[in-house]
Structure 1
Amino acid sequence: MDSQGKRAVRLRLTAAAALAGVSGAAGSWAYARSGASASDLVRDLAVGWAYVVAGIMAWKRRPANHTGRLMVAEGITWFLGNLQGTAIPVLFTFGAWWEALNMAVLLHLVLSFPEGRLTTVLTRRLVQFAYGLVAVGGLVRTLLFDPATDTGATYLDCASCGPNLFFVPGWHGLFDTFDAVYHAIGWVISAVAAVAVVQRWRHASAARRRALLPAWFGIGVAVAFLMWDMLFYVVPWFGEVGSLAEQAVYLMSDLAQVAVPFAFLGGLLRMHLQRAEVSGLVIDVGTDPDPSKVREALVRVLGDPTLRLGLWREEKGAYVDGSGREVSADGAGRTPVRASDGRQLALLHHDPALADDPELLESTAAALRLALENVWLRTRAKDVATRIVQAADAERGRLERDLHDGAQTRLVFALMSVRRVQRGLADHPDPALREAADEAESSLRLAIDELRGIAQGIHPAVLTRDGLAAALGALAKEAALPVVVAAEPRRYDPLVESTAYFTVCEALSNAAKHARARAVSVSARHLDGRLVVETVDDGIGGADTARGTGLRGLADRLAAVDGVLHIHSPAGGGTRIRAELPCG
């Protein structure tokens, strides 16, 4: 919502609060004039303003939902009937006409909760009929109502109130009959509304039923109040002998009605929090879209224990759940989830009643789409990184073979030729010639050793031929400081072996150049389906991946093959580098 929209909402909320204040003050003044006690006034104000306060909070939190506005309207109209306690004809007549408007607003609130709108033809017709009954029926009733004689016709017993501007004396004989019909129609509307709420409950999902609890509470209070009203109307003498009981019931009714708006507010905010929980799906899915874990997160958000989640499997051309069963895309209660480019990602098979809350379904599908696309992108990036590492490793091996089979072989042949020349010059009288042959032989041997070292650094032949344990042993012999190796003599995938080997190479290089270590121990073992390689030195510690490219590059290389690098290097306490690689 932009700043202009927020400003408009604030203005409406201010106007609603001001109107509620005026309505409450006028209603309390009129109610007090009719003989209400201080406790009666407090209870009456508490109920009306409870609706206003809760409604303003709901309106502010969810301005697009009409529930908050309806609660404010209920609080304002709550006081209209009190105006019958005045001796001002206009106010009295207005209060008599619209006395039951708050009941129609409450019906509207109950039937439209939690969306804030009426979703079925039945509920729309009921609410229209209720407002029509108050507008038309209330007007006719007011035309027949004489406050001087019909003192028991309202909850205010005030013979001195009025007069009624709309009263038609010639029609007064019809008042009792019409009043009975008027109340009976109100009871019928309430009963039908209760049936509508029951039907919504029966066809609702578990999450939907929790959302409807405030509506149950509200209609329960309204029905109880109407039943009490009916008891006093059908058995007039009950009020005469049961004044204490009447006061107790009105007190309980008022207290219950104070709780109703906050029940609606709590339900509305709970739904808001439920929608907020949807964003947590991205975190719940994480980097591993395990169907069972994702389904648990969806069940928690949607409140549907029957939900099935199918993830799209390209090789099967179908949606598959966590147990390997296909999830059909046909039928009711199916919500497909597609990627932004149209690719099929997942299918939610849920309670069809969740269709009554399309906002929740749409936000859930959007969050699941984002989570699965993130996983897909990470997988693609990891696959690319793995292929790069594989290509680099293969290129290392090719270079090592080219050096070994090409330049190194030619150098060896040249060395053999020089040695034949040396033998031929053994008796030659020219010492300078014999010395030149010796220098050539020495230079060739040095060149071969250097070339072998280069090839060993690119990709050691012993690693390919004999495996990781032999390669680590050879590496230890050539290291610049004492190295103890404990490695299991077993073979692994070539990419895993080369990654582990170069991890140890980097660790030994750091130990010699930076750690000032006196000795290093190296271990390689198979543990729970992973190759675990550790190097431990007794140097000065303080190694940090953020300060150097070597260890950071190692971490990236390991991540490309689903490996993990752990470094423990306290200052003055040596360095432990642990690499874990999946190896089956």
Structure 2
Amino acid sequence: MPRLLAGALAVPLGVGAELAAGVFETPLGPVDLLVGLAFVWCGLSVRDQRTAGLMVGCGLTWFAGDYATALLFLHRGPLVHLLVGYPSGRPRGWSARVVVVAGYVTAVVYPLGRNDWVSAGLGVALVSTVLVAQARSTTAERRARFAGVVGATVVGTMLVLGASVRLVGADVDELVLWVYELAMIFVAAVVFVDSRWGPWRRAAVTGLALDLGDMAQGGALQTRLAVALGDPSARLAYWVPGANGYVDVAGRPVEMPAVDDPNRALTVLARDGERLGALIHDVSVAGDAALVADVVALAGTALVNARLRAAVWRGLVEVEASRRRIIAAADDERRRLERELRDGAEQRLRKADEFLVGVEHADLRELLAMVLAELDGFARGVHPRTLTESGLAAALAELTGGLGLRVELDVMANRLRPEVEAAAYFVCSEAVANTLKHAEATSVLVRVRKDGDQVRVEVVDDGVGGADPRLGSGLQGLVDRVTALGGVLQVNAATAAGTHVICRLPI
């Protein structure tokens, strides 16, 4: 019977060719045979095609050392690839790819494979790479990668231990060889059990289901689907009936894989007979039909929910736009009414006042003056012409002139958008009116200043406080106006501490 591979670890450990030549007559012989058979049988039994191929490759290359000493370490290449890339078989990140390449190089180049320092370095790199990747993974990914992490830790530790024993000259080579071969059988069993019945697939699907509620963006959904499938290359495409094709989350056309593509597959996502999108993934994923079916069902639900959320969001956006249009229309109507009052009724009354000059009707002229004053105040309250013609600073100066209490104005001279100027003016107007009516104040501060990408409006008095926006239609109307523009109105009115009205509006 040809020589088995107990010598595959014996050479770097210093056991030597003597032990390898008669290995089948030693107790290690059946164990050595069992290692290769375990990887081949387990590889043929697992569902994932890539994992199966790497396991079978590891088992066959384990036996290759029976025929040539230069092939004693050939199993290291597929073994390292299997453990670093588990469960998808695809190493993630440049460090993982470097370790896999190093594993294949030391497997093929015999002098490197039997070098103790190279073996120790490969073991350290293997363990550190999988542990770092595990620490950076999401919860679902950690569950999926757990068997690979366990296997990589065991194999890497044995590589370091074997090299260390050789370097210090300790006479425990055969014991370490026993441990190594038993560890290899353990690794094959762990990967087989996990890939066949491991809970990570259920955990991945469960984690995807739990995360769906937080996925408002297509990119996040695509990432979660890739994690659940164990395929980082998976891509999500959306079906656009009008365009008769698929697009990505940014609306760009997505190229579909060819029907005869040996590496990529297309799984259509549909709900109630309606095509929603598609998953483009590695063909190896299709080997687990149950997993794909669960993920596709959840992805269909997620896309339906995303459509509903988008519809609700569009509705909210339209409501906000409608509110802004209503406010703009109301301001336009205010300006039109103010112009009609000024140019119509007020001009006629002033013309009548001119006719009464020199006529003995003092009481009539006094009444006419009162009507003109009231009309002027009403027109200014509807919409001050000064605001339109000269800006916010001039309009607020006109508003606070002759109030009968001390007024401090600190208003920026820069012009703002008409709707912002109008909102700021009416906030100040309502706040000052409340101060005069209810606050029993002796002074009031009106400040309007730019604050980053906002304008900050403040009205502060030294009155009795107690104002509540919920108790007055004026302040509540201002809250609606400010909110519709994307701003915030806050009223701080502690009793006996005065009232502080703060309004922030986007510029």
Q: Which band: TM-score by shorter chain? A: 0.5 to 0.7
- 1:76-475 matches, cutoff 5 A: 189-194=41-46, 196=49, 198=51, 201-202=88-89, 212-213=144-145, 264-265=198-199, 268-269=202-203, 271-282=205-216, 295=219, 299=223, 302-303=226-227, 304=232, 327-332=252-257, 351=281, 356=292, 357-420=295-358, 422=359, 434=360, 437-475=361-399
Matches within 5 A, 1:473-488: 473-479=397-403, 481-488=405-412
CA offset digits 1:412-433 (Å, max 9, x no partner): 111111115x1xxxxxxxxxxx
Partner SS state of residue 467, structure 2: coil
**Partner of residue 176, structure 1:** none
Q: Distance in 2 between matches of 1:327 and 1:556?
A: 39
Instruction: Please say if residues 515 and 540 of structure 1, whose CA atoms lie closer than 8 Å, have aligned partners that are also in contact.
Output: yes
Q: How far does the alpha carbon of each residue in 1:387-438 deviate from its partner, in whole angstroms, 9 at most, with x for none?
A: 1001100110011011111111111111111115x1xxxxxxxxxxx2xx11
Q: Does the 8 Å CA contact 2:238/2:248 hold for their aligned counterparts?
A: yes
In 2, Cα distance between the equivalents of 1:480 and 1:456?
19
Q: Matched residues in 1 for 2:271 and 2:317: separation? A: 15
Q: Distance in 2 between matches of 1:339 and 1:480?
A: 70
Q: Secondary structure at the match of 2:430?
A: helix
Q: Report the Cα offset of residue 570 of structure 1.
A: 3.5
1:512 aligns with 2:436: yes
Q: What TM-score comes out, normalization by structure 2 length?
A: 0.55
What residue number does 1:540 align with? 464
User: What CA distance in whole angstroms lies between the structure 2 residues aligned with 1:578 and 1:396?
Assistant: 25
d(CA) in 2 for partners of 1:521, 1:395 = 30
| Residue-pair matches, total | 340
Find the aligned partners of 1:337 and 1:552 in 2 and give their Cα distance. 48
Q: 1:513 to 1:369 in 2, by over 3 A?
A: same
**CA distance in 2 between partners of 1:336 and 1:527 (Å):** 51
Equivalent AA in structure 2 for residue 192 of structure 1: L
Q: Which deviates more, 545-554 or 456-465?
A: 545-554
CA spacing shift, 1:571–1:415, aligned 2, 3 Å: same
Query: Kindly tell me: are residues 451 and 270 of structure 1, through their superposed partners in 2, closer, same or farther at Cα, counting changes over 3 Å?
Result: same
What do residues 175-210 of structure 1 show as CA deviations (whole Å, max 9, x unaligned)? Answer: xxxxxxxxx999865331246361672479998976
Contact 1:511/1:517 (8 A) holds in 2: yes
Give me the whole-angstrom Cα distance separating, in 2, the residues matched to 1:218 and 1:464: 74
User: CA separation of 1:386/1:447 partners in 2, compared to 1, >3 Å: closer, same or farther?
Assistant: same
CA–CA separation in structure 2 for the residues paired with 1:542 and 1:360: 53
Distance in 1 separating the partners of 2:350 and 2:270: 63
Q: Distance in 1 between matches of 2:239 and 2:357?
A: 70
Aligned CA distance change for structure 1 residues 457 and 320 (closer, same or farther; 3 Å)? farther
Given that 2:323 and 2:484 are in contact with CA atoms closer than 8 Å, whether structure 1 keeps it comes out as yes
Counterpart position of 1:565: 489
Residue pair 1:281, 1:371 contacting (<8 A) in 2 also = no
Aligned partners of 1:212, 1:528: CA distance in 2, in Å? 47
Q: Percent identity?
A: 27
Gap change, CA 1:401 and 1:360, over 3 Å in 2: same
8 Å Cα contact 1:541-1:569 kept in structure 2 = yes
The alpha-carbon deviation at position 351 of structure 1 amounts to 5.0
Maintained 8 Å contact 1:281/1:367: no
Determine the C-alpha separation between the residues in 2 that align with 1:311 and 1:483.
63
| In 2, Cα distance between equivalents of 1:405 and 1:336 | 68
CA–CA distance in structure 2, aligned partners of residues 534 and 400 of structure 1: 26
Give the 5 Å matches for 1:522-541. 522-541=446-465
Computing the radius of gyration from Cα coordinates, the structure with the larger value is 1
Q: How has the CA–CA distance of structure 1 residues 576 and 387 changed in structure 2, closer, same or farther, with 3 Å as cutoff?
A: same
Q: What's the RMSD between the two structures over aligned residues?
A: 4.8
2:439 match: secondary structure: coil
Q: Could you tell me whether the CA contact under 8 Å between 1:535 and 1:578 is conserved in 2?
A: yes
Counterpart-to-counterpart distance in 1, 2:277 and 2:491: 42
| Contact kept? 1:337, 1:368, Cα under 8 Å | no
Give the direction of change, closer, same or farther, for the CA distance of 1:196–1:330 in structure 2 (3 Å limit).
closer
C-alpha deviation, 1:522, in angstroms: 0.8
Distance 1:379 1:475, change over 3 A: same
| 1:35-66 alpha-carbon deviations (Å, 9 max, x no partner) | xxxxxxxxxxxxxxxxxxxxxxxxxxxxxxxx
Q: Which TM-score applies when normalising by structure 1?
A: 0.48
Alpha-carbon distance in 1 for matches of 2:314, 2:346: 46
- 8 Å CA contact 1:382–1:560 kept in 2: the answer is yes
Partner Cα separation in structure 2 for residue 374 and residue 321 of structure 1: 18
- Give the CA deviation at 1:488: 1.2
| Aligned equivalents of 2:421, 2:236: Cα separation in 1 | 41
Pair 1:490–1:218, CA change in 2 (3 A): closer
Per-residue Cα deviation, 1:117-166 (whole angstroms, up to 9, x for no partner) = xxxxxxxxxxxxxxxxxxxxxxxxxxxxxxxxxxxxxxxxxxxxxxxxxx
**C-alpha distance in structure 1 between counterparts of 2:50 and 2:248, whole Å:** 37
The residue type equivalent to 1:280 in the other structure is: D
Report the Cα distance in structure 2 between the residues aligned to 1:447 and 1:337, rounded to whole angstroms.
73
Distance in 2 of aligned mates of 1:582 and 1:547: 26
Distance (Å, rounded) in 2 between the aligned partners of 1:363 and 1:503: 46
1:493 deviates by 1.5
CA 1:297–1:186 in 2, change beyond 3 Å: closer, same or farther? closer
In the alignment, the residues of structure 1 paired with residue 437 and residue 449 of structure 2 have an alpha-carbon distance, to the nearest angstrom, of 26
Offset at residue 348 of structure 1 (A): 8.6
Change in CA separation of 1:271 and 1:320 when aligned onto 2, cut-off 3 Å: closer
What's the secondary structure of 1:419's corresponding residue? coil
CA spacing shift, 1:409–1:362, aligned 2, 3 Å:
same
Q: Which runs of 5+ in 1 are unaligned?
A: 1-183, 221-241, 286-293, 423-433
